[in-house]
Amino acid sequence: MSDADVVLTVGRRLDFQLAYGSPSVFQGAKFVRIGDTPSEMRDNRRGAVEILASPAETLRAMVEHAGNRESKVDRQWAAKLRGGHEERAKKLQQSMANAPKGSDGKLHPIQAEFVKADALQCGFCTPGMVMACKALLDNRKDPSLVDIKRGLSGNICRCGAYPRIFAAVQAAAKLV
């Protein structure tokens, strides 16, 4: 998969594991986003066209229009990517569980929540996000979503992994 002219999303958030949310992927593509809640359409990469509609009705209409043609989607490619990601995540979780305490030991709960929430894509912004999260939680025990957004606002995630980052911070707030 090298490029696309159009990427159509129906009724769900963009899949970061396939990097659709990243502007570095499919740079020239027009995104058409269809969903029945605004957050499904505007989570990180805005569509050139955004349509508020029922995903089920949309899919039904598309299948009807396509006349049940055979799919050309490379499902093996996507499954291979997902499998590799799951394998890496499993290895990381195992090494985290077995690591000794100390300076090169177990992850801090904030780091662990970032891993659990899959809140890192390329990972460049992650150290800054984790440190900003630590500073925020040191000063505020039960931060609201607005507090979290303000607390992390000095860090920019170009991948647009914000929804998962916010979820990781919310989960970490319950632990630290």
Residues 107 and 88: their CA atoms lie apart, in Å, by: 16
Contact call for residues 5 and 25 (beta carbons, < 8 A): no
Q: Say whether residue 41 binds ligand FES (CB under 6 A).
A: no
Residue 127: CB minimum distance to ligand FES, A: 10
Residue 68: CB minimum distance to ligand FES, A: 39
Select the residue interacting with ligand FES from 13, 126, 152, 173 (CB under 6 A). Answer: 126
Binding residues with ligand FES: total (CB under 6 A): 11
Residues 149 and 155: their CA atoms lie apart, in Å, by: 10
- Closer CB to ligand FES, residue 53 or residue 107? 107
Contact call for residues 115 and 130 (beta carbons, < 8 A): no
**Count of H-run helices and E-run strands, the chain:** 7, 3
Where in 96-125 is the site for ligand FES (CB under 6 A)?
Answer: 120-125
- What is the secondary structure of 163-174 as a DSSP string? HHHHHHHHHHHT
Q: For the chain, what's the residue count? A: 176
Give which of 126, 94, 93, 127 is closest to 112, Cα–Cα.
93
- Closer CB to ligand FES, residue 54 or residue 149? 149
Residue 162: CB minimum distance to ligand FES, A: 9
Q: How many CA atoms lie within 13 A of 45 on its CB side?
A: 27
- Closer CB to ligand FES, residue 21 or residue 35? 21
Pattern 134-173, binding to ligand FES, x per CB under 6 A?
Answer: -----------------------xxx-x------------
In the complex, the residues that contact ligand FES under the rule CB under 6 A are: 120-126, 157-159, 161
